[in-house]
Structure 1
């Protein structure tokens, strides 16, 4: 089973009018699509993760004629919005691809700053490539990464070198990341047989790579 990471960018800057309306709302940002499904009647249900003020989101929603129903649920520093939408040709074309080519989008799907979406597609490699070729007109496709599929935690760890992963696992096992911290660089260095300064350098690189992958 293979996966492709790619960036889909609509030339007009949005796929569905609800995204354009959110882009125009002051202080509101599209963060992620948590789930999205094309229903038998041609409408779409979706869950967006947004950041910003709930009242502004609700005000913006009132000016989206394609919006059938919605619910807004604040959750600490983010807002989850359920929406039932009238679809359009571009969105329907995208949502039909998984069924047509037997591929699976890996949610959540991240929004890019230019209105595009950063997504991972899982399935047979040839089917994935055919699906990308069939993306509706008006959307550019940039394939960024191809590989064997693994759950998210394994894909994160695949960003580390073997040595970085080894040192990080030993640091975790020894309690370096416990609160309070149980060991020092010196303790880890003795275990992995390198200088304490090298341990610090390796762990800083591990933390940087994983945090950039999660938050970048």
Structure 2
């Protein structure tokens, strides 16, 4: 079984109007798509992971005509939103690809800025390539990795944002997790050019997400 990881970028900056409306909400960020399914009636059920103020998210949801139903649940440092939405042409075209080419998108799917997502697709290599070629017009595809599928590694790392992975990697390389510790938040902060408090916040989130994934 093979996988391909790539970045999909919608030319207009969003795949579905709900994402555009989230982008416009102050202080709210799309983090990941935890699950998404195209239903027989052409509507879509999805679970988004968001960051930001729950009250702002609830206010934005009340003004999204594309929403059929929704639920919002805060969970530690993130907010999980279930949404049943009307599909648009682009989203429907994307969600029909796994059925047509017998490939499997590996959730969660990470947002990487400017409306782009980083997607891992699993299946036969020839079918994966055909699936990538069938991505609807208006979406730029940039393939980044191809190899044998290792779900335990891929799933764990996709729980972290690019910035979280970067800071965690530097912390490991500098010896923050050695016994005894070789560096402090201040040392790491100098390397990544952020405040020490921000380093601590990022590493706590990394530890929380990885431990929840392993033990939760």
State the TM-score bracket (shorter-chain normalisation).
0.7 to 0.9
Closer, same or farther in 2 for the Cα pair 1:156/1:73, shift >3 Å?
closer
Deviation of 1:155 (Å): 8.3
Instruction: Say which one has the larger Rg.
Output: 1
Equivalent residues in 2 for 1:1-216, closer than 5 Å: 1-153=1-153, 181=179
Relative to structure 1, the CA distance from residue 147 to residue 27 in structure 2 (aligned partners, 3 Å threshold; closer, same or farther) is same
Shift of 1:101: 0.1
- TM-score, reference length from structure 1: 0.72
Normalising to structure 2: TM-score of the pair? 0.72
Deviation at 1:153, TM superposition (A): 2.3
2:98 aligns to what SS in structure 1? Answer: helix
Moved >3 Å (runs of 4+): 154-157
Distance 2:85 2:154 in 1: 35
In 2, Cα distance between equivalents of 1:36 and 1:109: 10
Q: Deviations over 1:36-60 (max 9, x none)?
A: 0001111000000000000100111
Q: What's the secondary structure of 1:55's corresponding residue? A: helix
Q: Secondary structure at the match of 2:113?
A: coil
- Let me know the Cα RMSD of the aligned residues: 2.4
Separation (CA, whole Å) in 1 of partners of 2:39 and 2:130: 23
Q: 1 CA distance for matches of 2:9 and 2:57?
A: 24
Segments of 5+ residues of structure 2 without an aligned counterpart are 158-176, 183-202, 210-216
Give yes or no for contact 2:2–2:147 (8 Å, CA) kept in 1: yes
Deviations 1:134-154 (A, max 9, x none): 100100000000001112327
Give, in whole Å, the separation in 2 of the partners of 1:73 and 1:140.
32
In the alignment, structure 1 segments of 5+ residues that lack a partner are 158-176, 186-210
SS for the counterpart of 1:70 is strand
